[in-house]
Amino acid sequence: MIAKHRSTQNVHRFAVFTAACTFFLLIAGALVTSNDAGLSVPDWPLSYGSLMPPMIGGIFYEHGHRMVASFVGILSIILAVWLWRVASRLEPSRRWLRWLGIGALGAIVLQGVLGGLTVLFFLPPPISSAHATLAQLFFTTVAAIALFTSAWWENEPVVPRRDFATPSIHTLGIFTSCAVLVQLILGAAFRHKAFGIIPHVVGAVVVTGLIFWFAGTLKRRFASVAELRLSARLLHVLIGVQLLLGGAAYWSRLYAASFPQPIPVMVTLTVAHVVTGALVLMSAVLTTLLCYRLVRSAGAAVTAPAARATAAD
């Protein structure tokens, strides 16, 4: 039992490390677009016919992004294999974790292919937008793996809360997460010139409303549950920051339009807006997962909690 607990905790730490590296990869990717460096390396998968081109100008961002992506790809392979081995030894109800690791690995392989296609076909907006969105989905998936392998998640809650209200907190969480994902797609489509800003602005209004509804409901119905209270507070903070960053990023793009090259303030604000969007998605999804873990809907049966596994077992 001690060995099983320790190996889950080790894979949890590795998942956290992978999620952190993925967040850094999101920054690297956003820097490529904001610096208009997406096509500074015309070939793929090599860069200027080699593994290490001169790291000058836009090549620094584009090839640097490829290097970080390769590193995260290696981490994903290790995570998938490790998770498969660890999860295979868990109780049957948790063995599905193996497939989440495989799914994450599949996602980053697909990301690599999409990235290559953006280069080979000169940044077609649908593929560039898919590449941007899948990056954020992959980040959320790895963060979810970290949550599922955490010691906290492994421990059965003593008494799950009940939710008798309508809509249920689960429904709110799913709707909010889906709305955030759609908003990220609209943002990516604007950033990669598929269409204008209006859909993304409308989406911002919808998402803000849903996040306030979701987070507000969490605080009202489950004020005594620390995890849900903190999640609600995080969602409030993130959406506030994201709205400010969105306005600032758009202003900076208009201001920078007359400059001969991307300027630091525009690059910083647009990159910050992109990665904060990823954090909003991750928070909404993980909060929804917490709701499923800690709260039972009105119609669900509540089973007697299993004996809690401890390190002494």
Partner 1 sequence: MSKSLWYFAAAVTLAAALVSCGGKSNQPAETAAPAAATGGGKTVDSATAGTVTGTIKLDGKAPRPKNINMAAEPNCAKEHSTPAQTEDVVEGDNNTLQNVVVYLKGDFSQYSFPNATEPVMIDQKGCQYHPHVLALQTGEPLSVVNSDPTTHNIHPVPKDNREWNESQPPGAQPIMQSFARPEFAPPIPVKCNVHPWMKAYIAVFNNPYYAVTGKDGSFTIKNVPPGTYTVTAWQETYGSQDQMVTVGPSESKTVDITFKANSAASD
Q: Does 307 bind partner 1 (CB under 8 A)?
A: no
Q: Does 102 bind partner 1 (CB under 8 A)?
A: yes
Residue 123 CA to chain centroid, in angstroms?
23
- Sketch the per residue contact string, 53 through 72, with partner 1: x for CB under 8 A, - otherwise: xx-xxxx--x----------
Q: Please state the length of the chain.
A: 313
Interface region with partner 1, contact rule CB under 8 A, candidates 6-14, 38-46, 200-208, 210-218: 38-46
Q: Does 120 bind partner 1 (CB under 8 A)?
A: yes
Q: Does 42 bind partner 1 (CB under 8 A)?
A: yes
| Residue 42 vs 196, nearer CB to partner 1 | 42
DSSP summary character for residue 225: -
Give the integer Cα–Cα distance in Å for 16 and 247. 31
Q: Does 91 bind partner 1 (CB under 8 A)?
A: no
Q: Does 298 bind partner 1 (CB under 8 A)?
A: no
| Residue 37 vs 232, nearer CB to partner 1 | 37
Residue in the block written with tokens 């303030």? 265
Q: Does 261 bind partner 1 (CB under 8 A)?
A: yes
Rounded CA Rg of the chain: 21
Token readout for 143 is 């963060």
Token readout for 72 is 């995260």
Cα-based distances in Å from 257 to 216, 262, 263, 294: 39, 8, 9, 49
Give the integer Cα–Cα distance in Å for 74 and 82. 12
Query: Please, what is the minimum distance in Å from the beta carbon of residue 89 to partner 1?
Result: 12
Residues that bind partner 1 (CB under 8 A): 35-46, 48-49, 53-54, 56-59, 62, 81, 84-85, 88, 102, 105-106, 109, 112-113, 116, 119-120, 122, 258-262
